[in-house]
Chain A
Amino acid sequence: MGSIFQIILHRLALGLVTLLIVSMVIFVAVNALPGDFAQAILGQGATDEAVTQIRADLGLDQNYFLRYFGWLGNVLTGNLGISFAQMNFASGMGGDQVSLVGVAEQIAPRFRATMFLAGVTAMIAVPISITLGILAALYRNSLFDRTVNIATLSSISSPEFFLAYILILLLAVLNPVFPSLSNVYEGMALGEKLNRTMLPALTLTLVVTAHMMRMTRAAIINLLASPYIEMARLKGISPMRVIVRHALPNALAPIINVIALNLAYLITGVVVVEVVFVYPGIGQLFVDSVKIRDIPVVQACCLIFAAAYILLNLIADILSILSNPRLRHPK
């Protein structure tokens, strides 16, 4: 088992390097966008005088290297900094650092909301897609298989906002089962929170199911041609048992990988769904911050997104190793 820990350490180290590169790319990219925080926040009122004032207040007039490495230094000491919006607000108060909300505190509730939505979606989507995948493999090329394939492929091919509005029409307008507004907040009762999260979670389920379901189906069907499955069949085991007991464990590695990728997508890529259902997740905050070029918030969000991908991929790889005895006990 020692080799697994080595792999984890190695991967975590690589992950840190990736995060560093991501932060640089984002910093360069946001700065390359036309306009900066001062111009964005002032809008029509962006006179040269006001723009210069804000740039001076926020240190935007310093050169890129100083700003980037200043930020990096803070992050390495565990401080994600203070958003430009908050700093601008403080300088308007006459320079007092009142009770400023740090980027970390600003992001925390949004991130929890995003994780909640991702969690609820995963709990619905993962069992459904694996079950459907197994059934589709079992009854492959049947009417059932085709129906499931067509349904999931059409839902993944439709834009998210379209699926969202169809669900709103069906489940909120025509049959008022769930509320169309998912404005959850901290301190809401769990039942109410689940009720409000249901429509966005179902929308996302429609988006991610096809990928996981088809990978499950393909991985299993791939194995069904193997001699050991043939043997199992010859023993007279029922087709269902052949698949669940014999094929599925060996198909786990690719399935886990696909699940991990989709979970990462649920954390990082759900802006559209958040907007349609007014769900206060991190995606909305991220887009708002890019709009006003609030670099500390954008950077922090990107780090979280990148970390989510890195960690989930790492977990997927470890689980694949654990699920495969040959990899678990390398010669």
Chain B
Amino acid sequence: MSQLSRRGLLKSGAAAGIIAATGLPAKAAAKPGGTLRLGLSGANTSDSWDGRTHSDHFMIHMGHGTVFDCLTEISASGELIGELAESWEASADAKTWTFNLRKGVKFHNGKSFGADDVIESLNMHTAEGAKSAAKPIVAAISEMKKLGEHQVQFVLEAGNADFPFLMSDYHILMFPAGMVEQAIAKGIGTGLYRVVSFDPGVRCVLTRVDSHYKDGRAGWFNDIEAIAINDSSARMNALMTGQVDAVSKVDYKTEPLMRANPNVNIFEMTGNMQYTFPMLTNQAPFDDINVRKALKYGLNRQEMVDKILQGHGAIGNDHPIGPANQYLAKDIPQLEMDIDKAKFHLKAAGLTELNLDMSVSDAAFNGAVDAGQLYQASAKEAGININVVQEPSDGYWSNVWLKKGWCACYWSGRVTEDWMFSTSWATGVPWNDSHWENARFQELLLSARGELDSDKRREQYGEMQMLASAEGGVIIPMFANFVDAASSKLAHGPDIGNVWMMDSSRLTERWWFA
């Protein structure tokens, strides 16, 4: 099947604004050498090499981006390419997928990579007691067959055209069969770098393997030292004083100071990270579509991007599909603040005034409390009185999200439309945080999932985005950029990935010292 380009359309002029600002000029040729020192956020003393537990940047970058490989990979330009799989084919109903694995690949301990490793690595996610975030992906596989040493066939419960995309998920790492525990303890993968030492929550030292199947196109550094720096000021300081060569997650407030330093380059990508306000649509007053519409028109999205994200983001349109997806529909009318329309819908709901509680906490996203207050101020003009309730950060996800009528939330997004919709928008799924149900939406979701024709899928996903935007129960005012910074000594290819921060957490593979 043809390889899907997620960003083919974005390369046209229409998407000029997406790659907001990459300060780094693309250097001509990559060259090997040097020790890369990284200051990374999101490290914990409970970190391990178990891909199923990876949820924050440090381990995502060290795991799938550096020490381990997945079956497939999303390239910097957004195409799905093979990583440990060389090619794949689907049956006409997208139910049976055959993956041809790369030959001659060795784990860091010398074991050869083959079909058994794939099957055992996938089975880890559905093992008894496993708490893997990728469980739903693997649970949808009804049968795994080893067709040869380097060929695996997956039979899915229902057709899924995105299956190869899902295999690029950072949780689904390939471990050596029969020695998974040891591999998790020591970090034995097939990646470009092998582990020299790892002190969870503190530091990770890696060195380049002698030969690798990505030789010549990735893996330019000789050695890597990743230092856990969770405190944002300390991280920025480390880069400014030259203690590290690159840092993740630049604080929006200090970004101008960083930009002023000639030795530092800021690189910024809009991905699928979104800040949201879900409302429970099976509860009054949110069960009335006119109330939802009034709320959709009652906030100034651009103001939120400017004030909460300090301009480092893009406005949202109340559907969860972002620029890191393949089928982002550009033709959906953008929701704008419109007090008259808000008043109109309020009237249509039989109300002249509406009093609401909105539960917020900075646990939902940085600036959620301020965002709630901005919303309160703008909605007031339309006669909507929002009472911003500040909830404690501890236990926010257990006690507030999915429980209170209207709250603040975030989603880091998913690389495929189907995965995002099935996670938090499909009827009846536990994380459907608006409890929204729409028959047409659900029908489209199921038919698009098994559809291999790219044009038809684009149409179906477009309609779904339209429905979500017009009728859904989630206000998505903004998409937050991934803002990272690097020393001007570092260079990178023409594209930077936007699936996750730091070049889709593959900076260690893709960048080099100029």
Residues of chain A having any CB pair with chain B under 8 Å: 33-35, 39-47, 50-51, 53-54, 57, 83, 85-86, 88-89, 91-96, 98-99, 106, 109, 165, 168, 172-173, 176, 179-181, 183, 185, 275-278, 280, 284-285, 288-289, 292, 294
Say whether B401 contacts A173, CB under 8 Å.
no
* A181 touching B44 in the complex, CB below 8 Å, given contacts A277-B234, A278-B238, A288-B201: no
From B88-96, B122-130, B465-473, give the one contacting chain A. B122-130
Say whether B241 contacts A278, CB under 8 Å.
no
Say whether B46 contacts A98, CB under 8 Å.
no
Q: Is B111 engaged at the interface, CB distance under 8 Å to the other chain? A: no
Say whether A44 contacts B397, CB under 8 Å.
yes
Say whether A106 contacts B45, CB under 8 Å.
yes
Say whether B234 contacts A98, CB under 8 Å.
no
A101 to chain B, nearest CB (A): 9
* A96 touching B201 in the complex, CB below 8 Å, given contacts A34-B395, A43-B55, A292-B46: no
Q: How far is the CA of A173 from the CA of B242 in the complex (A)?
A: 9
B184 surroundings in chain A (CB, below 8 A)? 93, 98
26 pairs, A vs B, C-beta closer than 8 Å: A35-B394, A39-B395, A42-B397, A43-B397, A45-B397, A53-B131, A92-B132, A93-B184, A94-B127, A95-B129, A98-B185, A106-B45, A168-B237, A179-B241, A181-B234, A181-B237, A181-B238, A183-B227, A185-B197, A185-B202, A275-B231, A278-B229, A278-B231, A284-B201, A288-B44, A292-B44
B121 to chain A, nearest CB (A): 13
Say whether B233 contacts A276, CB under 8 Å.
yes
Contact with A along B132-151 (1 / 0, CB 8 A): 11000000000000000000
A278 surroundings in chain B (CB, below 8 A)? 227-229, 231, 234, 238
Q: How far is the CA of A178 from the CA of B188 in the complex (A)?
A: 36
Residue from B131, B203, B397, B410 whose CB has the most chain A CB atoms within 10 Å: B131
Say whether B181 contacts A93, CB under 8 Å.
yes
Q: How far is the CA of A53 from the CA of B55 in the complex (A)?
A: 19
Q: Is B169 engaged at the interface, CB distance under 8 Å to the other chain? A: no
Q: How far is the CA of A92 from the CA of B130 in the complex (A)?
A: 4
Q: Is B398 engaged at the interface, CB distance under 8 Å to the other chain? A: yes
A31 to chain B, nearest CB (A): 13
Say whether A53 contacts B237, CB under 8 Å.
no
* A180 touching B129 in the complex, CB below 8 Å, given contacts A39-B395, A98-B185, A288-B201: no
Q: How far is the CA of A44 from the CA of B408 in the complex (A)?
A: 12
Tally of A-B Cβ pairs under 8 angstroms? 126
B23 surroundings in chain A (CB, below 8 A)? none
B399 surroundings in chain A (CB, below 8 A)? 34
* A294 touching B46 in the complex, CB below 8 Å, given contacts A50-B131, A278-B238: yes
B203 surroundings in chain A (CB, below 8 A)? 183, 185, 280
Give the number of residues in B that approach A within 8 Å (Cβ atoms): 49
Q: How far is the CA of A34 from the CA of B397 in the complex (A)?
A: 12
* A99 touching B231 in the complex, CB below 8 Å, given contacts A54-B131, A92-B52: no
Q: Is B464 engaged at the interface, CB distance under 8 Å to the other chain? A: no
Q: How far is the CA of A41 from the CA of B397 in the complex (A)?
A: 11
A39 surroundings in chain B (CB, below 8 A)? 395, 397-398
Q: How far is the CA of A317 from the CA of B199 in the complex (A)?
A: 39
Contact with A along B239-260 (1 / 0, CB 8 A): 0110110000000000000000
Q: How far is the CA of A173 from the CA of B243 in the complex (A)?
A: 11
* A89 touching B50 in the complex, CB below 8 Å, given contacts A46-B397, A106-B45: yes
Residues of chain B having any CB pair with chain A under 8 Å: 39, 44-46, 48, 50, 52-53, 55, 127-133, 180-181, 184-185, 197, 199, 201-203, 227-231, 233-234, 237-238, 240-241, 243-244, 392, 394-395, 397-399, 401, 409-410, 430-431
A32 to chain B, nearest CB (A): 11
**What are the nearest 10 A-B pairs in CB distance?**
A85-B46, A35-B395, A181-B243, A34-B394, A35-B394, A34-B395, A180-B241, A280-B202, A39-B398, A46-B398
- Which residue from chain B places its CB closest to the CB of A40 in the assembled complex? B394
Say whether B392 contacts A289, CB under 8 Å.
no
Say whether A47 contacts B430, CB under 8 Å.
yes
B230 surroundings in chain A (CB, below 8 A)? 275
A284 surroundings in chain B (CB, below 8 A)? 201
Q: How far is the CA of A236 from the CA of B325 in the complex (A)?
A: 89
Q: How far is the CA of A325 from the CA of B92 in the complex (A)?
A: 96
Say whether B45 contacts A85, CB under 8 Å.
yes
Say whether A276 contacts B131, CB under 8 Å.
no
A205 to chain B, nearest CB (A): 20
A294 surroundings in chain B (CB, below 8 A)? 46
Q: How far is the CA of A183 from the CA of B181 in the complex (A)?
A: 29
B389 to chain A, nearest CB (A): 15
Say whether B131 contacts A172, CB under 8 Å.
no
B53 surroundings in chain A (CB, below 8 A)? 89, 92
Select B231's contact among A51, A98, A176, A276, beta carbons within 8 Å.
A276
Q: How far is the CA of A237 from the CA of B204 in the complex (A)?
A: 61
B46 surroundings in chain A (CB, below 8 A)? 41, 83, 85-86, 88-89, 288, 292, 294
Q: How far is the CA of A165 from the CA of B53 in the complex (A)?
A: 35
